[in-house]
Structure 1
């Protein structure tokens, strides 16, 4: 395709009514504008403008040519304006992905942002599978736990403290564990991505992935275990293997089963807090710490060209989690 700049220069000359006026608009010298028009006429083999010392006038060929150049210039301006709007104001569609267990945080986190940006639409993909950001055109992905090495940009939102929970009914039947060494004797519920008889684990909860369920034991008949890392304030440390009676790749289902008395679960405090407050769950061994669960906002890129909708979404997520009680110790204080 031929260079389109001369067409834009010609349209500006006609709109401005002079070479000098077009030069000011375009940030060019009058001589450069004149040379551009002369080259355009030579290339087309026709005269487009009648020139005099006082004014310019379109030739018949110029009159036919100008509307096409004008539409091209208007389209270019509209394209530039759309990019400027994307940089400066949240518009269009914001595509966010998150694990199923995290979905209850998205409404309170994003609602103020959507209320302030009426031209913004939200497409929310809630799935425990690791959705590909490029294939699904994801703007912001919420990821939990350790992140695999990748070219994506990860910004930490917070660290969820994890705690051990059980229902009052379960504890009435099985007894309340008084020390970490008593935990293996209890019935356990465990999250899918945590389960692996052969895979080493550092005690951090990880996000589930539908592509690796076979590797972690959910697609096999092998007993599955969970490695617990218990630490006390005075430095005592225990690493314990507990066998899961119930395993699932859905954290919400596990918490519901925990509330119905089916065993002990290792949950994020932020998720368990409402059930703790209403007495549906009991916080076990509160003097011990069982690790944290980092929460990340992952985006394809972070630079000066990042869209306003992405910057805004990440900012409101940061503010939401900064105000969220993510640690049992902070809530007790």
Structure 2
């Protein structure tokens, strides 16, 4: 038995005022409890208890040692309670990573959760770069599209609809595409981390399919910047309907080839571990999923 366990046994003996009482409390035999106290005394070379047939009394050294042992046991109990609370109720700091374009959804998605649990705090890290979850101590990351192979755990939250969009001014000056091959002659804006090549998987109204690879003239690692440049009339872009709904309604953007559909954009909740997820992570994933279902 390690020294810390022996200290806990000694604290129980003092609190129960007997070896037998401590034994009942700890589900041990009385002889085992007595043996552990003797081992503490042997290891330290100090007498901790005066024993008689009727009672136990602490020596001066024993009184001082008991204070430290009791504090250690109390700290262990608090730590255990915190673990239970973390498992059963959202609390502590939730470190959430999300792309810049998704940041506007965090408040409506997690606001009710934060309002309901005052012990929960939020640290939002907004970045279009795919940061390392372990290195940055991220509890939960929102990711889009195809995920790279890793040991992280991904749960699909929903899928966003892709649209091909352009500003009215661009279409007026460069023509409105009537079929997929017309897209090859257009100027494109693309969200890209490692290059400017855009892949379009199109499905037509008659179940025909078309796969296009287009070199974008303008690319950015920030999706919101692509949307802004598209509104400014710098070319065509593939954008999520949830992001451009207001621009479409206001006439700042128009959908191109509306009869053709694109493969959807999957939205994922990514965590660094599968088992023993704390309540704050489980609750945040559920809140995000409930919110996103209202958008799709």
Structure-2-length-normalised TM-score: 0.91
Instruction: Measure the CA separation in 1 of the matches of 2:114 and 2:262.
Output: 36
Q: Runs of 5+ in structure 1 lacking a partner?
A: 194-211, 217-223, 326-333
Instruction: Measure the CA separation in 1 of the matches of 2:108 and 2:63.
Output: 58
User: Compared with structure 1, are the counterparts of its residues 147 and 266 closer, same or farther at alpha carbon in structure 2 (3 Å cutoff)?
Assistant: same
Match of 2:262 among 277, 286, 290: 290
User: Compared with structure 1, are the counterparts of its residues 184 and 75 closer, same or farther at alpha carbon in structure 2 (3 Å cutoff)?
Assistant: same
User: Compared with structure 1, are the counterparts of its residues 37 and 238 closer, same or farther at alpha carbon in structure 2 (3 Å cutoff)?
Assistant: same
After superposition, give the CA deviation of every residue in 1:198-240 in whole Å (9 maximum; x if it has no partner). xxxxxxxxxxxxxx4xxx1xxxxxxx54232211243211122
Match of 2:216 in 1: 244
Secondary structure at the residue paired with 2:3? coil
Shift of 1:2: 5.6
After superposition, residues 152-167 of structure 1 pair within 5 angstroms as 152-167=152-167
Shift of 1:19: 2.5
After superposition, give the CA deviation of every residue in 1:69-120 in whole Å (9 maximum; x if it has no partner). 1122222222222222222222222111112222222222121121122122
User: Compared with structure 1, are the counterparts of its residues 276 and 21 closer, same or farther at alpha carbon in structure 2 (3 Å cutoff)?
Assistant: farther
Instruction: Measure the CA separation in 1 of the matches of 2:137 and 2:250.
Output: 40
Match of 1:302 among 253, 274, 283: 274
1:191 counterpart = 2:162: no
After superposition, residues 40-59 of structure 1 pair within 5 angstroms as 40-59=40-59
Task: Choose 130-139 or 79-88, whichever is displaced more.
Answer: 79-88
User: Compared with structure 1, are the counterparts of its residues 289 and 311 closer, same or farther at alpha carbon in structure 2 (3 Å cutoff)?
Assistant: same
Match of 1:177 in 2: 177
User: Compared with structure 1, are the counterparts of its residues 283 and 24 closer, same or farther at alpha carbon in structure 2 (3 Å cutoff)?
Assistant: farther
Question: Is the 2:3–2:40 contact (alpha carbons within 8 Å) kept by the matching residues of 1?
Answer: no
Task: Choose 38-47 or 154-163, whichever is displaced more.
Answer: 38-47
Instruction: Measure the CA separation in 2 of the matches of 1:247 and 1:49.
Output: 77
After superposition, give the CA deviation of every residue in 1:284-327 in whole Å (9 maximum; x if it has no partner). 22221111111111111021x222222221221121222222xx
After superposition, residues 110-121 of structure 1 pair within 5 angstroms as 110-121=110-121
Shift of 1:172: 2.5
Match of 1:220 in 2: none
Shift of 1:262: 2.1
Instruction: Measure the CA separation in 1 of the matches of 2:13 and 2:201.
Output: 74
How big is the alpha-carbon RMSD for the aligned residues of Structure 1 and Structure 2? 2.1
User: Compared with structure 1, are the counterparts of its residues 46 and 249 closer, same or farther at alpha carbon in structure 2 (3 Å cutoff)?
Assistant: closer
1:230 counterpart = 2:202: yes
Structure-1-length-normalised TM-score: 0.82
